[in-house]
């Protein structure tokens, strides 16, 4: 489902953030991405989502080699991978509902059906009744959940999530993790970067860890 072969990543002329990374993730896995701040977790996730190119090496996602991917195939990748970043990139010129509708509209889905699905996605993350708010009127945690609704609404095969629970209290964090677990149970391959190892221990079965020296570890279970 996801494979890295000798992947290196630096920004500009800077040092390697990722150096000679190799791993393979099978469909349906639930993977925890861990490591200290600045180690390169978000960078790893952005490579999978095609938001950053690798500096060297091959990144394969859902049967495609990203660096060899044509511009025409890119929208396909965007539908296959639901990505939720630390910075939510919500659109503040429209309602919460219209933020969630956007991926469906882009995919050309019929309006009524799209609205039904967008409403269901918002309900799933506990945002029923907030459809008409502008994201600016929502709390940090609500905005995070709105970004999750937008990422799950077109049922991607892979979910890549960066610190989903950072702005949430413990109950909300659990509820959000249950949303990801529901998707994983129906086969969605899930990668989550987080500093909350205790929370991840109930969900993930494998850990990709980058340490403060940029060393990479691939281990079963969740490293506590």
Ligand X SMILES: Nc1ncnc2c1ncn2[C@@H]1O[C@H](COP(=O)(O)OP(=O)(O)OP(=O)(O)O)[C@@H](O)[C@H]1O
Give the nearest distance from C-beta 126 to ligand X in angstroms: 25
Decide: is 144 part of the binding site for Mg ion (CB under 5 A): no
Copy the structure tokens of residue 115.
């609205």
Nearer to ligand X, 31 or 153 (CB): 31
Per CB under 6 A, the list member of 2, 4, 21, 43 interacting with ligand X is 43
Alpha-carbon separation of residue 124 from 29, 206, 213 (angstroms) = 21, 26, 39
191 bridge partner residues: 31, 160
Decide: is 42 part of the binding site for Mg ion (CB under 5 A): yes
Copy the structure tokens of residue 170.
């413990």
Per CB under 6 A, the list member of 25, 32, 34, 40 interacting with ligand X is 40
Query: Per-residue contact track with ligand X, 6 to 35, x per CB under 6 A?
Result: -----x--x--x-----------------x
Alpha-carbon separation of residue 134 from 2, 10, 12, 95, 130 (angstroms) = 35, 37, 36, 4, 9
- The H or E element that residue 122 is part of is helix 111-124
Nearer to Mg ion, 42 or 143 (CB): 42
Give the nearest distance from C-beta 52 to ligand X in angstroms: 8
- The H or E element that residue 103 is part of is helix 96-106
Binding to ligand X in span 66-105, by CB under 6 A: 86
Chain centroid to Cα 203, Å, comes to 15
Give the nearest distance from C-beta 42 to Mg ion in angstroms: 3
Give the nearest distance from C-beta 33 to Mg ion in angstroms: 9
Nearest Cα residue to 21 out of 195, 193, 213, 208: 208
Decide: is 165 part of the binding site for Mg ion (CB under 5 A): no
Site stretch for ligand X (CB under 6 A), options 40-48, 110-118, 126-134, 149-157 = 40-48
DSSP state letter for 65: E
């Amino acid at each position: 489902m996801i494979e890295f072969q000798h992947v290196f990543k630096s920004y500009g002329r800077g040092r390697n953030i990722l150096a000679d990374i190799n791993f393979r993730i099978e469909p349906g896995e639930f993977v925890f991405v861990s490591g200290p701040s600045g180690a390169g977790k978000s960078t790893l996730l952005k490579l999978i989502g095609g938001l950053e190119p690798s500096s060297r090496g091959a990144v394969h996602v859902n049967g495609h080699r990203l660096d060899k991917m044509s511009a025409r195939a890119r929208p396909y990748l965007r539908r296959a991978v639901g990505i939720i970043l630390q910075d939510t990139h919500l659109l503040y010129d429209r309602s919460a509902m219209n933020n969630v509708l956007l991926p469906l509209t882009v995919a050309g889905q019929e309006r009524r059906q799209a609205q039904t699905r967008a409403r269901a996605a918002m309900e799933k993350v506990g945002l029923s009744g907030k459809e008409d708010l502008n994201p600016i009127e929502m709390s940090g945690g609500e905005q995070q959940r709105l970004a999750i609704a937008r990422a799950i609404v077109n049922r991607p095969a892979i979910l890549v999530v960066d610190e989903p629970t950072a702005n949430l209290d413990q109950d909300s964090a659990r509820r959000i993790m249950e949303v990801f677990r529901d998707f994983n149970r129906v086969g969605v391959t899930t990668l989550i970067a987080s500093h909350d190892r205790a929370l991840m221990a109930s969900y993930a079965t494998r850990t990709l860890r980058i340490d403060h020296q940029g060393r990479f570890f691939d281990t079963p279970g969740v490293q506590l």
